[in-house]
Amino acid sequence: MGARLALERSAARLVGRLSRAAGCGGGTTLPGKLLWKVDPTAIDALAARLPLGSALVSATNGKTTTSAMAAGILGRRRRLAWNNSGANLASGVASTLLEAKGAELGLFEVDEFALPEVMRRTAPRAVALANLFRDQLDRYGELEHVAERWRAAVAALPRSTTLVVNADDPLVAELADGRPAALRFGVDDARVARAALQHAADSKYCVRCGTPYDYAAAYVGHLGDYRCPRCGHARPVLDVVARAIELQGLDATVFDLVTPAGTGRVRLPLPGLYNVYNALAAASLCLALDASLDDVVAGLEGFSAAFGRFERIDGGGRGILMLLIKNPAGANEAVRTLVEGGVPPALVVALNDAIADGRDVSWIWDVDFEPLLERAQRIVAAGDRAAELALRFTYAGFPPGRLEVVPGLEAALDRGLALVPPGGELGVLPTYTAMLQLRAIAAERGLVKPYWEGAA
């Protein structure tokens, strides 16, 4: 290690320790921000020191869970440098690399807008691209803008880098066209498909000629088995597949994991078809990194939820079930999972509009909350934009007498818990920064570890 890099590394670590000592969080990004500011090329040098290289995971939805699943698989036999706190900008990757003493393999969840920069600097062995949904339009712009950045970044990757793509997402699947090293994953079980595309589905037009796709099966948002009736562009052949899927309420999902290495029956201890997609992405990435099918199955079956993503918390005689919502596609799947598995009688729904959430909260009008509202008994609308949320629910026909507006998150959490009988469970659906704040409240009460310590 060069003297300059060693000095930069020591200074950045010191900043992290001071941040933690001052109670300013886990120090998961500040050291990396400093390093990034002083010497952006330090990431290149630190990543190059990992003897087994790096792997990246990016997506609009599910990248934290997918990365955690991959860590559960790969961590069985390799020492990982993994940004488990969810700090997924270049500064977060830099912070992780700073603490990567003795690590063999880098596993990094990466923000979709930061992906090109991180790809360029880490020279990854494998990159998993799981989906692109409309999200934070005021920050990212339209989907095609993000896809264009990804196309350019993928084109610059070495031919030896394995690209893992969700073949059920047309925008993502086409990124692997012509690449010699690629794995394509998807779902093949029409029994769990939706009856039709959701009205808020995003990429439903042919990526080649712009004609609306015909769907033999639509699974999550615009993800599915598609074919263009005009030019014939269609979902590519799948390398890694989920078949014979059984959705077991809010407890688990069971499916056949069909891979080039064989087939394994997986009992994933998470509900929802979207988590099957997360498992497929993680399995494909790990297979690309030479994990065995036995390790993949064992890692998935031993997984527990990532923080805030279908996380169950013991609230002291009452349970808390927390499901992150942050855009129409993800929120619709959270609603679908609760409706199919059982809606808790009381819900806290929290809407913030911080930069990390997106300032524009108009997306709540594209979420199909109605099936949830038909079953919920009481709802507490919370967060910085609680009033808009309450308006959305009122227009959907939820009775005003069963709806409360409590903007403060701690007060809203307490009010929600008070609505739940002992032994019952409160459903909490927060946006990203609301989720972090609610977890911080839970951590202060000793109910969970801080997310930078306890992320699964």
231 is in an annotated binding site: yes
Annotated catalytic residue 360: yes
> 214, 294, 314, 360: which is the annotated catalytic residue?
360
Where do the H-state alpha helices sit in 143-292? 143-155, 170-173, 273-288
> How many residues are recorded in the chain?
456
Structure confidence at residue 31 (pLDDT): 72
Structure confidence at residue 455 (pLDDT): 44
Asked if 227 contacts 233 with a C-beta cutoff of 8 angstroms, the reply is yes
Asked if 38 contacts 91 with a C-beta cutoff of 8 angstroms, the reply is no
24 is in an annotated binding site: no
Structure confidence at residue 456 (pLDDT): 38
pTM here is: 0.88
209 is in an annotated binding site: yes
Show the domains of the chain with their CATH numbers.
29-302 (3.40.1190.10), 310-444 (3.90.190.20)
Distances (CA, A) of 145 to 182, 261, 363: 23, 36, 18
Asked if 358 contacts 138 with a C-beta cutoff of 8 angstroms, the reply is yes
Per-residue pLDDT of the chain (456 residues; tens, 9 = 90+): 566 666 566 666 666 665 555 555 555 667 767 777 777 788 899 999 999 999 999 999 999 999 999 999 999 999 999 999 888 998 899 989 988 889 999 999 999 999 999 999 999 999 999 999 987 766 666 788 899 999 999 999 999 999 999 999 999 999 999 999 999 999 999 999 987 777 666 778 999 999 999 999 999 999 999 999 999 999 999 999 999 999 998 889 999 999 999 999 999 999 999 999 999 999 999 999 999 999 999 999 999 877 778 899 988 889 999 999 999 989 999 999 999 989 999 999 999 999 889 889 999 999 999 999 999 999 999 999 999 999 999 999 999 999 999 999 999 999 999 999 999 999 999 999 999 999 999 999 998 877 666 543
286 is in an annotated binding site: no
Q: How far apart are CA 413 and CA 417, in angstroms?
A: 6
Q: How far apart are CA 48 and CA 359, in angstroms?
A: 37
The full DSSP string for 154-196 is HHTS-TTSEEEEETTSHHHHGGGTT-SSEEEEEE--GGGSBSS
